[in-house]
């Protein structure tokens, strides 16, 4: 068998890939027809492909490479840990130093009484843990009927049966028998797309009060928890109106339901604080973490749990866990990642330097004729594409058509931006420097110009 390497011709790699590798969230036949882009190496905020292109990665992979690519220290720690203890589990009354050290560090970084960590291999697994944990919590308190978890439409919480059910993605629910029972979805606070003629503030309140209505309709004694991302990421970087979160917090307090912050994207500096819930001003009972925890260098996730919840769970055997819960190599790499973040003041860099620098230029994209609104919190941002800003009109094409065209123009200009429908989103590595942010904006502007020309040419405006 020939050895498959970076040096093979791209077409051969693409053919082998299409023949044997099934890609996530992809129409495989379409991929086979055009060939996947082969990424070969990366450093800082840059990725390289097999055709010799050097591409600005404004998505940090999948929102995860917070400390940037090419960190030797992470590789060194992984190699050291693999030599010393490549694997051991944390079932059956055993533990190991990387698990102890990472849990302790997370307890120190997480706000308030979030002092306990249940590890998983990914964000999806961690959210599955959360479903079982909050239901077990109420069962242990003698209220087993308190099992409904409220989430939001267009939320993304993972791809497993549980986490995909928590998520509110209609195309995912259409396949494979999701959602599981006991998950209820309310509308999202997406004013641009759904706000109609109400003001953002009124709309934020109205959407938050849907939580209260849902609790009353389901019965307060049946609701276990509410889960949400501080800023919806994969849903399109939806920044709620300012009125939204205080009202949600009031409702959760009033009805005593647990609040789960999905910090898989927002955590670890992305919003200019260690955690997104700090940026939006509320204290969760459980946090879902993954992605930026290890900057994607190793697959690891988890749930950071409050004293109160951990105390209740601690009284029973929680029949739950993964072979790779607290995997020693992943835990050691995650700890090194957090050390780098602290030593290089990366959270402060986002809050005081690169967040404001990129933010001002990102918001100025509304001067482009095709951009209706531009939102950004720290280093996660979105723009809404529209043919008519004042009426927030849609294009004369299926939603996502223009977003896709724009994404393809970005790729052609060596910029990775993603589209969610007709919203373009970014989530760059947090270590981005001002000159790189300027390049991002320059390329985004050029791509928007080119996409607009194409859209007009195709009569979609």
Question: Cα torsion for 6, 337, 269, 104, to the nearest 10°?
Answer: 150
**Helix ranges (DSSP H) in 221-306:** 244-255, 276-280
Contacts of 356 by beta carbon, 8 Å cutoff, 6+ apart: none
Where does this chain bind ligand PMP (CB under 6 A)? 62, 122-124, 127, 156-158, 229, 233-234, 262, 264-265, 290, 301
> Which residue has its beta carbon closest to ligand PMP?
123
Token pair belonging to 121: 């291999």
Closer CB to ligand PMP, residue 147 or residue 159? 159
CA distance 314 to 427: 37
State the minimum distance, in angstroms, from the CB of residue 179 to ligand PMP.
Answer: 15
**Identity of the residue, 324 or 395, whose beta carbon is nearer to ligand PMP in the bound complex:** 324
CB of 275 to ligand PMP, least distance (A): 13
CA nearest neighbour of 237 among 156, 335, 178: 156
Residue nearer to ligand PMP on the CB measure, 265 or 304: 265
* 71 vs 79: CA distance, rounded Å: 13
Q: How far is the CB of 266 from ligand PMP (least distance, A)?
A: 8
| Least distance CB 421 / ligand PMP (angstroms) | 16
C-beta closer to ligand PMP: residue 60 or 370: 60
Q: Closest distance between ligand PMP and the C-beta of residue 345, in Å? A: 25
Give the containing element (helix H, strand E) for 341. Answer: helix 328-343
Closer CB to ligand PMP, residue 224 or residue 420?
A: 420
Q: Which is nearer to ligand PMP, 229 or 285 (CB)?
A: 229
Rounding to the nearest 10 degrees, give the CA dihedral for residues 34, 17, 63, 442. Answer: -40
Q: How far is the CB of 355 from ligand PMP (least distance, A)?
A: 20
Residue 322 CB, shortest distance to ligand PMP, in Å, is 12
- Comparing CB distances to ligand PMP, the nearer of 147 and 154 is 154
Give me the least distance between CB of 38 and ligand PMP, in Å please: 22
Q: Which residues pair with 149 in a beta bridge?
A: 183, 225
Shortest spacing between CB 135 and ligand PMP, in angstroms: 19
CA atoms within 13 A of residue 174's CA, in its CB half-sphere: 3
Residue 237 or 385: the one with the smaller Cβ distance to ligand PMP is: 237
Q: Which is nearer to ligand PMP, 50 or 232 (CB)?
A: 232
The residue whose two tokens read 């110009």 is 449
Complete edge-to-edge strand list for the sheet that includes strand 258-262: 114-120, 301-306, 286-289, 258-262, 223-228, 148-152, 183-186
**DSSP of 60-119, one letter per residue?**
HHHHT-TT-B--HHHHHHHHHHHHH-S-----TT---HHHHHHHHHHHHHS-TTEEEEEE
Strands (E), 314-460: 371-377, 380-385, 415-416, 418-420, 423-426
């Amino acid at each position: 068998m020939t050895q498959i390497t970076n040096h093979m011709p791209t077409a051969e790699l693409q053919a082998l890939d299409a023949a044997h590798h099934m890609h996530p969230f992809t129409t495989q036949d379409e991929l086979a027809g055009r060939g996947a882009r082969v990424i070969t190496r990366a450093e800082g905020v840059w990725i390289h492909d097999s055709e010799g292109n050097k591409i600005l990665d404004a998505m940090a992979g999948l929102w995860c490479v917070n400390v940037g690519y090419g960190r030797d220290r992470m590789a060194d720690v992984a190699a050291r840990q693999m030599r010393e203890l490549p694997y051991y589990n944390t079932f059956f009354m055993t533990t190991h130093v990387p698990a102890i050290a990472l849990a302790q560090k997370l307890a120190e970084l997480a706000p308030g009484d979030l002092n306990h960590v249940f590890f998983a291999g990914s964000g999806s697994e961690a959210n599955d843990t959360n479903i079982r944990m909050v239901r077990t919590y109420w069962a242990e308190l003698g209220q087993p009927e308190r099992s409904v978890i409220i989430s939001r439409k267009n939320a993304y919480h993972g791809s497993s049966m549980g986490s995909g059910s928590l998520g509110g993605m209609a195309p995912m629910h259409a396949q494979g028998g999701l959602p599981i029972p006991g998950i209820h979805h309310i509308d999202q606070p997406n004013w641009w797309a759904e706000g109609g003629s109400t003001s953002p503030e009124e709309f934020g309140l109205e959407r938050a009060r849907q939580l209260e209505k849902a609790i009353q309709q389901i019965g307060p004694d049946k609701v276990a928890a509410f889960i949400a991302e501080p800023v919806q990421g994969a849903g399109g970087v939806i920044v709620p109106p300012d009125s939204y979160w205080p009202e949600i917090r009031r409702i959760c307090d009033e009805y005593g339901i647990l609040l789960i912050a999905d910090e898989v994207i927002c955590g670890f500096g992305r919003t200019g604080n260690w955690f997104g819930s700090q940026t939006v001003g509320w204290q969760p009972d459980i946090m879902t973490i993954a992605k930026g925890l290890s900057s994607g260098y190793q697959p690891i996730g988890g749930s950071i749990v409050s004293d109160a919840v951990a105390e209740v769970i601690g009284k029973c055997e929680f029949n739950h866990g993964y072979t790779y819960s607290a995997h020693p190599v992943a835990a050691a790499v995650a700890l090194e990642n957090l050390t780098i973040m602290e030593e290089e003041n990366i959270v402060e860099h986002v809050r005081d330097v690169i967040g404001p620098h990129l933010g001002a230029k990102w918001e100025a994209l509304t001067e482009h004729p095709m951009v209706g609104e531009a939102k950004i919190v720290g280093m996660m941002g979105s723009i809404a594409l529209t043919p008519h800003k004042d009426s927030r009109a849609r294009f004369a094409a299926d939603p996502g058509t223009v977003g896709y065209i724009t994404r393809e123009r970005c790729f052609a200009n060596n910029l990775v931006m993603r589209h969610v429908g007709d919203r373009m989103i970014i989530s760059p590595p947090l270590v981005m420097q001002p000159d790189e942010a300027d390049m991002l904006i320059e390329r985004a502007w050029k791509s928007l110009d080119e996409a607009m020309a194409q859209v007009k040419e195709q009569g979609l405006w």
